[in-house]
Each structure stands twice: as C-alpha cells, then as structure tokens.
Homo-oligomer: A and B are copies of this chain.
C-alpha cells in the first residue's frame, strides 16, 4: 500500500525537516548536497510517492519534457499506417527518457504557425518534422525559432543546416530498377508517391538514372505519382496494362499500392512474378509482418512475398527520437545527420520478362 494523494515539495520538505531548496536539489542531482541527506530525501520521496508538478516545473524552467509531432493525417492519408509505426518506434525512446508526445493534427499550411506557437508557448522542448517537401518552409522557421528539431527525411540537396535522418531513396530505387533491367526488362513502370514529397522525388531520380544508364528513354505513360493508397496501385496498374505496350515490370513506392497492383493483376488473370515483375519499397509495416504474437509467427517462417527494397520505418522512428533527445541535451553541438541504406530482398514477384 503506497501513499496515494498528491504530495508537493512543501509537504515533503516539512516532513523531512529540510528546506524546499535542499529537497529540490537532492532530487535533481545537484552536486553540493550531502550524500546522506540525498539518500534520506530520495527514500522519502519514493515512499510518499512524490512527483513534481509538471506545470509548476515547466513554469519555472521553461522546459516541458514534451516532443511536438505535427502531422496531417487527413491530407496525405497514405501516411497514416506509416505514421503509426514511426511513432511506435519514437514513443518507445521517449518513454525510456521521460518524454511524452504532444500530437497535433493540422494541414500543411497551418503547420508553420503551429510550430511557432508550440515553441513560443514553451509547450515542447523539441520537434519532429514529418513528410518534408523539397524546399520545405518549416525548416527555416524552426531554425529561426532556435528549437531543437530533427527532420524525418530531407528537404534539399545541401541540407547541411539542419538535422535529418533519411533512407537513401535514390540508391534504393536505382538498385531496384537496375535489378529489373539486369533480368532483361525493358519497359519498367514507376508507381511513385506524390512527387511534391522530397522522398518521392529522390525515388524517381533513382529510377530515371538507372534507365538512363541502360540507354532506355523515359516514357511518361509509365510514370504515375499520387498518394500511396491501395486503390491507387490498383487503378494505376489497370491503366498501365491497358497501354499498347504495357510494362513487363513495375517499381512501386510502397507495399500499400503494391497490394493494389497485385489485385489489379489478378483481375487481369495475371500473376505478379510470373507475368509482370513487381518490386516494392517496404517500410516493414507491422501489420504486414508476422510478429511473434500473431499466432503463426515464428512457427511458419514467411518467404517474403514482394521483392523489395526495405527499411524499417519503426527503427527510423527510434533513431530520430534518439537524435532529437541528444540535440535537446546539447542544443549547440554539431549538427549530425544519418543516411541509411535500404536492404534489398528477393521475393516471389520478380522474374525475367515473358517471351512474347
């Protein structure tokens, strides 16, 4: 039976016969307090279930122990499942370090103002930028505000003036495209994400450079760009396969539209792999994995279905959170960024092109 009702610093210090100052110092690990005293204080605080009031502490220090995540879950609905996995990773790190997430949903246009308010009001100690565009205005604002922040992805070519963590999208898509070329494919389509998003832009560059190196001309009819939902993959594939010369292979920016690709092919009596090769970018979304809790997981090892370039968005969430906490810890340290290479995994959806 531990004590329940809230206790404050004043009560605690009176109980101990010490001043609030000393108790506060003992609890916050100041060096000048006697070890013996500290031990007494810590023990009593534990026993009486003392926890400092966050709003009082925040008022006094200006720190909130909150991390702001501002996202537009309604606009680019494709990010929803990605967001959940990212936040699952980040939240794990925050939890271990006594931070909480302040989540705000807002359209992209509102986000500048929101970041500003969040920082001015001292509601957050740091901020994560989701879904950066090429030339994203949020980054300039955050730099001007002087708040610690990390961008998940990148905004520009240079990008030496902010802290980011990104996957090497260009190389990943170059590699996927090159793999299909090496198998003998000549007509390769790209079902990309929205190309205002910087990551989609880079993916396209990777795809294009691989084709160029192989001396294959780009064909605009083979390029699609949209929000990465399942029906988009479906309709894009139907459109592609209706072409006079349909593609023999498709590179898809996410497993979500890739599922739509599979469905469209099935409707046409075709199979991914045998009839049309498909490579997807795989974020290792949890609901597509057979985790240890999923009943069959572990017992039945899954052969990956899609041939894919793969990078766990959940691990990205963890790493971004770590980087941000480090930055909050020393806001004036050097800017450090990270570029991850995606894995390449061969599944069941790629093969040499059919003879015709």
User: Using a CB–CB distance below 8 Å, which chain A residues touch chain B?
Assistant: 6, 51, 53-56, 58-59, 64, 66, 69, 73-78, 80-81, 83-85, 87-88, 91-92, 94-95, 100-106, 117, 120-123, 224-232, 235-236, 256, 259, 262-263, 266, 271, 285-291, 293-297, 300, 302, 305
Contact of A101 (CB < 8 Å), options: B102, B232, B305:
B102
The CA-CA distance from A122 to B55 in the complex, in Å, is 8
Task: Say yes or no: A84 contacts B73, CB within 8 Å.
Answer: yes
Most buried by B among A69, A120, A227, A294: A294
Chain A facing B: main interface SS: mixed
Assess A55 versus B64: contact at CB under 8 Å? Given A91-B73, A288-B230.
Answer: yes
Task: Say yes or no: B75 contacts A293, CB within 8 Å.
Answer: yes
- What are 9 A-B residue pairs whose CB atoms fall within 8 Å in the complex? A55-B55, A73-B85, A95-B104, A95-B106, A103-B103, A227-B293, A227-B295, A232-B296, A262-B263
Which residue on chain B has the smallest CB distance to residue A235? B296
Task: Say yes or no: B88 contacts A73, CB within 8 Å.
Answer: yes
The CA-CA distance from A120 to B52 in the complex, in Å, is 11
Which B residues touch A105, using CB under 8 A?
87-88, 91-92, 94-95
Which B residues touch A66, using CB under 8 A?
102
Which residue on chain B has the smallest CB distance to residue A83? B84
Task: Say yes or no: B85 contacts A80, CB within 8 Å.
Answer: yes
Assess A231 versus B288: contact at CB under 8 Å? Given A102-B102, A103-B101.
Answer: yes
Most buried by B among A55, A64, A66, A121: A55
Which B residues touch A226, using CB under 8 A?
293-296
Which B residues touch A224, using CB under 8 A?
295
Which B residues touch A83, using CB under 8 A?
84
Task: Say yes or no: A87 contacts B73, CB within 8 Å.
Answer: yes
Which residue on chain B has the smallest CB distance to residue A75? B293
Contact of A300 (CB < 8 Å), options: B101, B228, B235, B300:
B235
Q: How far is the CB of A106 from chain B (nearest CB, A)?
A: 7
Contact of A266 (CB < 8 Å), options: B69, B120, B266:
B266
Task: Say yes or no: A290 contacts B229, CB within 8 Å.
Answer: yes
Q: How far is the CB of A175 from chain B (nearest CB, A)?
A: 25
The CA-CA distance from A218 to B87 in the complex, in Å, is 41
Which B residues touch A58, using CB under 8 A?
55, 58
The CA-CA distance from A104 to B64 in the complex, in Å, is 15
Task: Say yes or no: B51 contacts A287, CB within 8 Å.
Answer: no
Which B residues touch A120, using CB under 8 A?
6, 51
Task: Say yes or no: A81 contacts B78, CB within 8 Å.
Answer: no
The CA-CA distance from A55 to B228 in the complex, in Å, is 39
Task: Say yes or no: B101 contacts A104, CB within 8 Å.
Answer: yes
Which B residues touch A123, using CB under 8 A?
54, 100
Which residue on chain B has the smallest CB distance to residue A95? B105
Which residue on chain B has the smallest CB distance to residue A226? B295
